[in-house]
Amino acid sequence: MMEFVTLNNGVKMPQIGYGVYQMPPVETERAVNDALSAGYRLIDTAAAYMNEEGVGAAIKKSGIAREELFVTTKLWVQDISYEAAGTAFERSLQKLGLDYLDLYLIHQPMGDFFGAWRWLEELHRAGKIRAIGVSNFYPAVLANFCETVEIKPMVNQVELHPFFQQEAALATMKEYGVVPQAWGPLAEGKHGIFTHPVLTKIGEKYRKTAAQVALRWNTQRGVSILPKSVRAERIAVNLDIWDFALNEAEMAEIAKLDLGHSEIVNH
């Protein structure tokens, strides 16, 4: 079973995907193969991860029909300009071995990101990208961006997990019809998330792990999530979150875990 979120242009995106951040190229193909075998259909990579070829190789070998897959990659900082975006996009497409992308994101609000966005809009209109979006855009930047551009971003991929919940950012995204997508939904393993007493206690009731509770909590906030693991059994477990739902009291209990800041990165 897979839940989907509908983007502001009508495209349906799986609510849970598999991320390959910090994954060595040699390991990427095997891990993506495990993820596809487990049932993931959204695969998220980036030019900066240096492993687009591994993702492409796994997709090719999987034999899964292209239209069943949702592939995301991102435009890295040195290519964030109107002049460089088109070439960078073609390079990523070539490495992935694909003839179109499902989602292309501007990785950071740096450089001439308005210029780069104009290229993305053109590629989107030409049918080379089904959806376009941004990553790591904080609320004020996102609001200014949405008020300025012709086509509003469909997705904003940011850090979202029980210890950094970003409610204000979610409210801004909702206002502009931008779907929030979580990188690091398991806080990159920090804060003892896998054995956290609050998450573990809630999980016992549903026979779920603390990690599954954290992932389910985010999906119930309307967030798309990208959990990452290199272990096949953990990859499969992270996907198994659709057969239970947290109640309001449990959602409120998890809300109390918010530290209000990131301990992973300071942009």
* Active site residues per annotation: 49
Q: Cα separations (Å) of 256 from 107, 184, 209? A: 30, 19, 19
Residues 179/5, Cβ–Cβ less than 8 Å: yes
User: Strand pairing partners for 159?
Assistant: 183
Q: What is the dihedral of CA 122, 133, 3, 97, to 10 degrees?
A: 60
Are the C-beta atoms of residues 220 and 251 closer than 8 Å to each other?
yes
The two structure tokens encoding residue 259: 């530290």
Residue closest to 160 by CA, chosen among 257, 45, 85: 257
Report how far residue 31's alpha carbon sits from residue 29's, in angstroms, rounded to the nearest whole number. 6
Burial of 198 (0-12, 13-18, 19+ CB in 10 A): middle
